[in-house]
Chain A
Amino acid sequence: MSRIILEIKDFSMVFGGLRAVDHVNIHINDGEIVALIGPNGAGKTTLFNCVTGVYKPSEGDIAVSNPESKVIRTNGMKPNNITELGLARTFQNIRLFSSMTALENVMIGRHPKLQAGIFGAIFRDKSTRTEEKQVVEDSLVILKKLGLKQYANEPASSLSYGAQRRLEIARAMATEPQLLLLDEPAAGMNPQETKELDDTITRIRDKEGITILLIEHDMSLVMSLSERIYVLDYGKLIAEGSPDEVKANPAVIKAYLGE
Chain B
Amino acid sequence: MNKVLKEIRTSALSALWMMILTFPIIVIKVNTINMTVNWRWINLMWVGTGTFILSWLWRYLLDRKENGSGLKKTDTKESRRFSLHKSLNDKKMRIPVLSTLAVLVLVLPLLVNFYQVSIMTSALIFVILGLGLNIVIGYGGLLHLGYAAFYAMGAYSYGLMYLYWGIPFWVALPLGAVSGAVFGLLIGFPVLRLRGDYLAIVTLAFGEIARLVLENLSGFTKGPEGIAQIPRPGFITKLSLQGATIYLFYICIALVLFTIFVMRRIEDSRIGRALEAMSEDDIAAQSMGIDLTKAKLTTFALGAIWAGMAGVLLAAKTTYINPGSFTLMESVMILVAVVLGGTGSIPGVILGAFLVTLIPEYFRALSDYRMLMFGVALVVMSIFRPQGIIPRVRKHYIVGEDQS
Name the residue on A nearest B271 (C-beta): A121
Instruction: Decide if A191 is an interface residue (CB 8 Å cutoff).
Output: no
CB–CB A108/B273 < 8 A: yes
* Chain A residues proximal to chain B, CB less than 8 Å: 52-54, 78-80, 83-84, 88-89, 91, 95-101, 103-104, 107-109, 111-112, 114, 116-118, 120-122, 124, 128, 131-132, 135-137, 140, 144, 152-153, 171-172, 174-175
What is the chain B residue whose CB lies nearest that of A104? B397
List 9 A–B pairs whose Cβ atoms lie within 8 Å, in order of A's numbering. Answer: A54-B283, A78-B292, A83-B286, A88-B288, A89-B287, A97-B277, A99-B280, A118-B271, A172-B288
A132 CB contacts on chain B under 8 angstroms = 269-270
* Chain B, 238-272, CB within 8 A of any chain A CB: 262, 265-266, 269-272
Interchain nearest-CB distance for B278 vs A (Å) = 10
Measured CA separation A175–B277 after assembly (Å): 15
Number of CB contacts from chain A to chain B under 8 A = 117
B residues near A, CB below 8 A? 262, 265-266, 269-274, 276-277, 280-281, 283-293, 298, 302, 394, 396-399, 403-404
A140 touches B404 (CB 8 A): yes
Kindly provide the distance from the CB of A197 to the nearest chain B CB, expressed in whole angstroms: 20
A171, B273: Cα distance in complex, Å: 14
- A108 adjacent to B274 (CB under 8 Å): yes
Bound CA–CA A79/B289 (angstroms): 7
Residues A136 and B291 in contact, CB atoms below 8 Å apart: no
Interface centre among A88, A97, A104 (most CB of B within 10 A): A97
In the bound complex, residues from chain A placing their C-beta under 8 Å from that of B273 are 104, 107-108, 111
Given A114-B270, A136-B397, the answer on whether A97 and B287 have CB atoms closer than 8 Å is: no
B274–A111 touching, CB < 8 Å: yes
Chain B residue at minimal CB-CB distance from A143: B399
Instruction: Collect the chain B residues with CB atoms within 8 Å of residue A153's CB.
Output: 396, 398-399
In order of increasing CB-CB distance, the 8 nearest A-B pairs are A112-B289, A121-B269, A83-B289, A95-B284, A79-B286, A97-B280, A116-B270, A108-B277
Contact of A108 among B285, B396, B403 (CB under 8 A): B285
Most central of A107, A111, A117 by chain B CB within 10 Å: A111
